[in-house]
Amino acid sequence: MATQRLTIAKVGGRSAQLVAAQFQNWQRHANEDRSPSEVSAAVDRFAAQLRDNAHCPPILYFAEWIDQWSMGDLVPGLGDDSAVVVAGSRFEACCHKPPIAMRATTINGQEAQEVRWLRSRIQEAENAWSELTQEAVIIVLREPLGALVSDEELTESLGSIPPWLASQLTLR
């Protein structure tokens, strides 16, 4: 488990076809153990470019957030066996063709709140501009950033003001 940055992006039109084909190509190369470092570098470049161009069409949807509690077993594949998952050195990436059959484990029959948040973002992405084009893919990126934040650490943090925040905000 780790703190991670999660990115969800929907790419539409002809670009969706290209992205889907590229993910298939990367997965084929990874499965054949051909040029793993080239595939890894290409995946990381793609992820960085996707994030840098989040505001540009044909990106139909883009959301990104920091998740401090979820395990890395759900993202980026979302429990969907038809998903195409590839790994870079920095990012894990997955290309999904809507509709996404997200399957998450439950705790005592309940989905964790982080899973509900993720499911909501996935549904938003699927619905984004769906009346404009049926040709789309949804990209899920996972970027591990650091150690997991425990419930105890979070609870303890609520009773204090961290130095980085206290030094920026002062009442005069």
Longest dimension (CA), the chain: 64
pLDDT at 86 over 90: yes
Buried-state track 145-161, b at ≥16 Cβ within 10 A, e below 16: eeeebeeeeeeeeeeee
pLDDT higher at 50 or 171: 50
pLDDT, tens digit (0-9, with 9 covering 90-100), for 107-125: 777 888 888 899 999 999 9
Domain assignment present for residue 52? The answer is yes
Tokens, residue 112: 């964790």
Domain assignment present for residue 37? The answer is yes
Whole-prediction pTM value?
0.84
Q: What is the mean pLDDT of the chain?
A: 88
* Structural domain span for residue 11: 2-166
Domain assignment present for residue 20? The answer is yes
